């Protein structure tokens, strides 16, 4: 095919914005645009908050949200926090982790920071090229006498190989917890994420599938661990004037819980919209050379929140150039989590690590807009641009 035939083979006829054309979208399309439930429900909850004059400190809406989430995930305890990062820090401290903890490099930087922030060395493991998750084979060789634990990440909401990691942890007497920031309402072998390892950490940040604006939680079946974390998130107070544990301020505010209760009511709709987007992308990607979609396992429950593409050498246009081309069209695709934590400034000089799979994934990864506000036409337009770039060097 010559280039004009290639152009004709896609549905996009308009001049690209990088060539001086009008952007395909008048407003920017963001990855992780916040999901917002019914504003009148939120107003009703907030009215309650003002009536109660109870704004924070384990208020009734926080307690209600915790109970609902625990029931939803079939786990004994949900300890709500002000954000996912503090939830990670508190979980790490409550588990008594120290020395070295093995984490994937291919994750959001907070997973590593939550350790380094409290003087623990994150030891970066490679991930499986297909699952983007840790495996026993990438973790086990990194265990040293200083290793105290493993933090698995359910990246993109796709579960880490939990049983495999649990047996590594058990064999070496290590703690195992999960960063489940992406994995609200997803499952592993038919059971909802939330009760695996010693605890799992959720993020309810504005960009996540379920948000409380800012927020997070640790979920666990361990009574003692939950009690300890409740103390830690509230300065160690066991009652008035009675501090029994070192602690910090990790409390969720009532307004966040109001947002959470509101959004829980619409969560099924958010997920259905994500699934519609995902299926449309999957269908279109089937016909695009050099572009592969990171697939969700249809046998599991998924939240379909992340549309993750991999741009291989078979694409005529490189990943980085595609990001520029899309950006000119007002499609703000992201290279999450390029370049990997092990290549970020705070960590890159300390470690002498080679993570070939992480480097390959980081060079290819492209996260695309999704969610309830994206129409089928929007997705078609995004795919037209991608297809043009994949077939022809832009």
Q: Where on the chain is the footprint of ligand PLP (CB under 6 A)?
A: 83-85, 107-108, 110-111, 153, 179, 181-182, 203, 205, 216
User: Who contacts 94 (Cβ-Cβ below 8 Å, separation ≥6)?
Assistant: 199, 218, 225, 228, 229, 232
Map residue 132 onto helix, strand or coil: coil
CB of 314 to ligand PLP, least distance (A): 29
CB of 88 to ligand PLP, least distance (A): 6
Map residue 307 onto helix, strand or coil: strand
* Between 77 and 182, CB nearer to ligand PLP: 182
Distances in Å between the Cα of 315 and the Cα atoms of 221, 261, 292, 337 are: 47, 44, 10, 21
Comparing CA positions, the residue from 218, 225, 279 lying closest to residue 250 is 218
CB of 110 to ligand PLP, least distance (A): 4
CB of 345 to ligand PLP, least distance (A): 18
Residue 203's H or E segment, with its range, is strand 199-203
* Between 86 and 267, CB nearer to ligand PLP: 86
Report the distance separating Cα 325 and Cα 1, nearest Å.
22
* Between 160 and 383, CB nearer to ligand PLP: 160
* Between 86 and 388, CB nearer to ligand PLP: 86
CB of 379 to ligand PLP, least distance (A): 23
Q: What does the H/E/C string look like for 355-388?
A: CHHHHHHHHHEEEECCCCCCCHHHHHHHHHHHHH
Select the residue whose beta carbon is closest to ligand PLP and give its number.
Answer: 84
* Between 10 and 107, CB nearer to ligand PLP: 107
* Between 179 and 384, CB nearer to ligand PLP: 179
CB of 123 to ligand PLP, least distance (A): 17
Beta bridge partners of 78: 219
């Amino acid at each position: 095919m010559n280039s004009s035939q290639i152009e004709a083979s896609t549905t996009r006829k308009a001049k690209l914005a990088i060539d001086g054309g009008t952007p395909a979208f008048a407003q920017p399309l963001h990855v992780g645009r916040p999901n917002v439930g019914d504003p009148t429900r939120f107003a009703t909850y907030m009215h309650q908050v003002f009536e109660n004059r109870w704004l924070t400190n384990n208020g009734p809406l926080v307690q209600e949200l915790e109970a609902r989430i625990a029931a939803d995930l079939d786990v004994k305890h949900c300890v709500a926090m002000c954000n996912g990062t503090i939830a990670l820090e508190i979980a790490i401290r409550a588990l008594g982790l120290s020395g070295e903890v093995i984490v994937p490099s291919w994750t959001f930087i907070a997973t590593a920071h939550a350790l380094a922030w409290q003087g623990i060395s994150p030891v970066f493991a490679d991930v499986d090229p297909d699952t983007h998750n840790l495996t026993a084979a990438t973790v086990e060789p990194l265990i040293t006498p200083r290793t105290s634990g493993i933090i698995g990440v359910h990246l993109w909401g796709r579960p880490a190989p939990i049983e495999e990691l649990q047996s590594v942890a058990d064999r070496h007497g290590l703690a195992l917890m999960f960063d489940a920031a992406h994995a609200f309402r997803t499952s592993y072998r038919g059971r909802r994420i939330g009760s695996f390892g010693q605890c799992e950490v959720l993020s309810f940040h504005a960009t996540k599938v379920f948000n409380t604006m800012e927020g997070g939680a640790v979920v666990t079946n361990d009574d003692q661990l939950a009690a300890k974390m409740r103390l830690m998130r509230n300065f160690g107070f066991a009652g008035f004037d009675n501090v029994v544990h070192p602690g910090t301020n990790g409390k969720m505010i009532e307004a966040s819980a109001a947002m959470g209760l509101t959004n829980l009511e619409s969560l099924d709709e958010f997920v259905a919209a994500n699934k519609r987007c995902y299926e449309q992308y999957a269908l279109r990607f089937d016909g695009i050379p050099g572009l592969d979609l990171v697939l969700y396992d249809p046998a599991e429950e998924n939240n379909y929140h992340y549309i993750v593409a991999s741009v291989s050498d078979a694409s005529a246009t490189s990943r980085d150039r595609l990001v520029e081309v899309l950006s000119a069209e007002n499609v703000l695709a992201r290279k999450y989590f390029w370049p990997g934590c092990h290549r970020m400034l705070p960590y890159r000089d300390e470690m002498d690590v080679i993570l070939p799979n992480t480097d390959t994934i980081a060079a290819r990864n492209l996260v695309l807009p999704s969610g309830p506000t994206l129409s089928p036409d929007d997705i078609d337009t995004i795919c037209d641009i991608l297809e043009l770039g994949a077939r022809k060097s832009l």
